[in-house]
Amino acid sequence: MLEPTTVFVGDLLRADLFNASADRLFVTFRQRLARPGAFDAPRPVRSFVARGYAHLHLQARWNDWYINGETAAFEAALAAVCGRYSRVVGMGFSMGGYAGLRFSAALGLKHLIAVSPQFTLSPRVLPQDRRYRDCAGGFDGALGDLASHGRRALAGAVLFDPFKPMDLLNARMIGAVFPGLALCRLAGSGHPASRVLREGGRFAALQRQLLHGRVDPAAITGLHRDSRRHSPLYWTQMAEIAGRHGRDGLAAAARARATALAPGARDA
């Protein structure tokens, strides 16, 4: 069994590295949890390790968006380890997507797929977004500032559902700081915006974008387009959106499609 090397472990943050001697590195980030408070036992992403990548997994014990009293030491440890790799790529979801952006300079990230990431938790910077105020009490806006700490030359993609107004707003703010990140609108995908891709069995194809050293936004939106045709989740989301806009006929048609595609519907 592949055993990790612990790169950093504190009371609040942790980083574990698998297959450390490889030439290339894939980085993942733990996302926001319903029940935080403990570190998970890290596991390697075998699809990358089997193809000659090292795998670095980062965790925050609490939903603090990785911004706390250990952040500076954590960042220094990441920079010391990651500088030896010829190419560093990563993927993160929600809080994990934010972490990918925040630590992109320390990690030397070349390409990132960030799924429904946050720009900041600072109420001063983003007063419209009240979703994570339970996590924002100790958020240090300067320490968490993406413009100050991120790698502006970062390439890749931000995936988001444009029908989620706060995800749209955060994506646009991220795009202004990281112009090399393409904004991929995956309508009806919810939060995080990979849900329809997972339901359609396309998540591995999304992940493979990073294996080949290039993220193709058109290919990502194509994966979503193919997945949504047979996705109960997508049609349920679209029914709700149509209903909110008074499009009752479209809402009814979308609900009927979702019902027809639900597991077991064809056998009923």
Closest by CA to 7, choosing from 66, 114, 79, is 79
Query: What's the whole-number mean pLDDT along residues 108-118?
Result: 98
The pLDDT of residue 172 is above 80: yes
Other C-beta atoms lying within 10 Å of the C-beta of residue 52:
11
Assign residue 6 a region (left: φ > 0; alpha: ψ between -120 and 50; beta: otherwise): beta
Query: What's the whole-number mean pLDDT along residues 103-131?
Result: 95
Average pLDDT, the chain: 94
The pLDDT of residue 267 is above 80: no
Quickly state the pLDDT bin for 256 (edges 50, 70, 90): very high
95 in Cβ contact with 60 (< 8 Å): yes
Structure tokens at 141: 């806006």
Query: What's the whole-number mean pLDDT along residues 99-116?
Result: 98
pTM of the model: 0.94
DSSP 8-state code for residue 61: S
Structure tokens at 234: 């997508």
Query: What's the whole-number mean pLDDT along residues 181-204?
Result: 95
Go through the domains of the chain in sequence order and give each one's CATH number: 5-215 (3.40.50.1820), 230-268 (no CATH)
101 in Cβ contact with 150 (< 8 Å): yes
257 in Cβ contact with 214 (< 8 Å): no
Query: What's the whole-number mean pLDDT along residues 35-59?
Result: 96
pLDDT attached to residue 7: 97
Q: Residue 1: how many CA atoms within 13 Å on its side-chain side?
A: 4
Q: Long-range CB contacts (< 8 A, 24+ apart) of 225-230?
A: 226/200, 226/202, 227/196, 227/197, 227/199, 227/200, 227/201, 227/202, 228/188, 228/189, 228/196, 228/200, 230/200, 230/261
Query: What's the whole-number mean pLDDT along residues 132-138?
Result: 78
75 in Cβ contact with 53 (< 8 Å): no
pLDDT attached to residue 1: 59
| C-alpha radius of gyration, the chain, whole number | 19
d(CA 16, CA 242): 44
The pLDDT of residue 266 is above 80: no
Look at 264 and 113; give whichever has higher pLDDT: 113
Encoded amino acid at 171, one letter: A
CA 16-18-22 angle, to 5 degrees, is 130
